Amino acid sequence: MRYQDHVRLSFSAGLLSLLCLNVAPVTAGEWDDLFDAGDGFCSLLDGCPTLSERPTLLGDMGGLRPAFGESGIKVDLSNTLTYQGVTSGGNGDHSFQFGGHDDYYVAMDGHKLGLQEGLFINLHGETRYGEGLLRKTGALSPSNTTLLFPQSSDTFTALTEVKFTQFLNEHVAVFAGQLNFVDGYSHPFAAGKGQTQFMNTAFCLPPIFGGTIPVYSSLGAGFAIMHGHEPIFSMLVLDPVNHAGRNGFDEAFSNGIGLFANVHIPVTIAERPGHQDLFFAYSNRTATALDDAVYVEPPEGPLVLFSQVNTGWTFMYGFDQYLVVDPHNPQRGWGVFGQAAISDGNPNPIRTSLIAGIGGSSPLPSRPQDTFGLGYYFFQTSTDLKSTLAPVVQLGNEHGVELYYNIAVTNWFHITPDIQWIEPARQASESAVVVGVRTKVDF
């Protein structure tokens, strides 16, 4: 696709989003802050922030953003570009690949729109283009999460979330619609969809869930119980089949149902915040260990060797804990995180996983807006998968390390150098070194 065609496609998708998870939604008070119209039209004579100081490239768009905010509509646009390649090892292909991802977010306050108090509507449209490193490292965990969605190849535009959230009171919210599962996964050190923190999927969202509920965008409904500004328990029921790019109503729940639950407990140690988490996923979809798992790259092999299984489950414990918090700015700090998970091992290609790391705000006083992360992951490949594929594909366990440093050139423009070392599950592939750079612009 020519660059000019892509620009037209991206603009059209953004306009369509204008016209037309968190799994646990934010509180009603936070939404009031979100839709605060601010001081209205900003001019340089009034002390308007300079280009480098404003939070987004387009600022208040000549008063348009505050006007929309007063009406209950918030629009956010961003562009993420990546240039990444395997410099040694992998499957031997050491070419670098360029790709990009555009996001178009619309959030609406039902009360300000005259619809219903406590009602909030979220739309997310996105365009993916360019090439990634799929199959080039020999790993189960993709090295570039940004280019996985809404599909992992070609140029593709989709409306991946149309979510309706209704707060029943300050402590209970219900939600339903076309849910973007990755949008709903949040973590202070290891999330970000590959756009702001780590790039490898192992650290952006737990890949072990990909064999149980292999969805990026799907129909679902759930509820959340809030404590203060955070959900302490959430649960949802969803179609365990990915419906990114299509509404899914015609085939909704035709291959079973999926359940997902999260217990999220805030903890404070030495006056430093943290969390303890328990996650559980279950589905009764019919699948094999080689089926598309959305955020896992299952090995290739003859499907005839695999019998279909109609039950899958995954259980995970996770924690995050700040070790250092800036006494002058509680939004800045760094800490540690970890996850330990186990699954059925069939149809899930990953039996157990361990993830640990450190990350957060840059410790450099002169770089207050920069962030960094260093993480390690280990996957124990399913014994059933290894033994069944042994005659044609030799598989072992997988582990890897990633280091990134996110440089805030301005509040709205970030450049992130990234390096990964991966010992892939595919034994025919050598240890891979992956080097890349990412840019992100918030409009």
Among candidate residues 180, 275, 186, the one with its CA nearest the CA of residue 236 = 180
User: Is residue 406 predicted with pLDDT exceeding 60?
Assistant: yes
What is the CA 113 to chain-centroid distance, rounded? 29
In angstroms, the CA 98 to CA 332 distance is: 32
Is 160:17 a contact under the CB 8 Å cutoff?
A: no
Among candidate residues 179, 13, 217, 201, the one with its CA nearest the CA of residue 103 = 13
Is 143:422 a contact under the CB 8 Å cutoff?
A: yes
User: Is residue 1 predicted with pLDDT exceeding 90?
Assistant: no
| Cβ neighbours, 10 Å, residue 29 | 11
For 135, phi then psi, to 5°, come to 70, 0
> Which tens digit of pLDDT belongs to each residue from 136-164?
999 999 999 999 988 888 899 999 999 99
> Which helix (H) or strand (E) element contains residue 331?
strand 329-343
Among candidate residues 74, 78, 76, 94, the one with its CA nearest the CA of residue 86 = 94
Mean pLDDT of 202-216: 86
Lookup: tokens for 433 = 């070194």
Q: What is the DSSP secondary structure assignment for residue 127, as one 8-state letter?
A: E
Q: Which long-range contacts (CB under 8 A, 24 or more apart) does 269-274 make?
A: 269/321, 271/325, 272/321, 272/322, 272/323, 272/324, 272/325, 272/333, 272/335, 273/322, 273/325, 274/319, 274/320, 274/321, 274/322, 274/335
User: Is residue 39 predicted with pLDDT exceeding 90?
Assistant: no
For the ranges 52-56, 308-312, 333-337, 356-360, the lowest mean pLDDT is seen at 308-312
* Residue 321, pLDDT score: 97
User: Is residue 390 predicted with pLDDT exceeding 90?
Assistant: no
User: Is residue 32 predicted with pLDDT exceeding 80?
Assistant: no
What is the DSSP code string of 352-365?
EEEEEEEEEE-S-T
> Which tens digit of pLDDT belongs to each residue from 16-25?
333 333 333 4
335 — pLDDT class (breaks 50, 70, 90): very high
Residues 6+ positions from 231 with CB-CB distance below 8 Å? 22, 23, 24, 25, 224, 225, 262, 264
Amino acid, res. 146: T
Pairing of strands 272-283, 258-269: antiparallel
Is 438:416 a contact under the CB 8 Å cutoff?
A: yes
* Residue 52, pLDDT score: 80
Mean pLDDT of 326-347: 92
Report the predicted TM-score, pTM, of the whole model to 2 decimal places.
0.85
* Residue 44, pLDDT score: 44
Dihedral sign for Cα 148, 196, 219, 286, please: positive
User: Is residue 289 predicted with pLDDT exceeding 80?
Assistant: no
Write the CA distances from 249 to 206, 219, 241, 329, integer angstroms: 27, 8, 12, 47
For the chain, list the domains and their CATH numbers: 3-35+72-442 (2.40.160.180)
Residues 6+ positions from 437 with CB-CB distance below 8 Å? 82, 83, 84, 415, 416, 417, 418
* Residue 325, pLDDT score: 94
Radius of gyration of the chain (CA): 22
Helix, strand, or coil (residue 295): coil
Residues 6+ positions from 19 with CB-CB distance below 8 Å? none
More confident residue, 365 or 244: 365
Lookup: tokens for 93 = 């292909």
> Which helix (H) or strand (E) element contains residue 261?
strand 258-269
What is the DSSP code string of 218-257?
EEEEEEEEEETTEEEEEEEEE-SS--TTS---TTTTTT--
* Residue 306, pLDDT score: 65
In angstroms, the CA 233 to CA 22 distance is: 13
Give the HSE-up count for residue 412: Cα atoms under 13 Å, Cβ half-sphere: 18
For the ranges 11-20, 284-293, 360-369, 424-433, the lowest mean pLDDT is seen at 11-20
Is 162:104 a contact under the CB 8 Å cutoff?
A: no
For 376, phi then psi, to 5°, come to -130, 140
* Residue 304, pLDDT score: 52
> Which helix (H) or strand (E) element contains residue 13?
helix 3-19
| Cβ neighbours, 10 Å, residue 408 | 16
Mean pLDDT of 310-336: 92
More confident residue, 368 or 384: 368
Cis peptide before 273 (omega within 30 of 0): no
In angstroms, the CA 106 to CA 74 distance is: 6
For 19, phi then psi, to 5°, come to -85, -50
> Which tens digit of pLDDT belongs to each residue from 86-137?
999 998 899 999 999 999 999 999 999 999 999 999 999 999 999 988 889 9
Residue whose entry in the numeric block shows the structure tokens 């064999």: 211
Pairing of strands 96-109, 430-442: unpaired
* Residue 215, pLDDT score: 79
Q: What is the mean pLDDT of the chain?
A: 85
Torsion of Cα atoms, 305 then 308 then 313 then 318, to 10°: 40
Give the HSE-up count for residue 309: Cα atoms under 13 Å, Cβ half-sphere: 21
Mean pLDDT of 158-185: 93
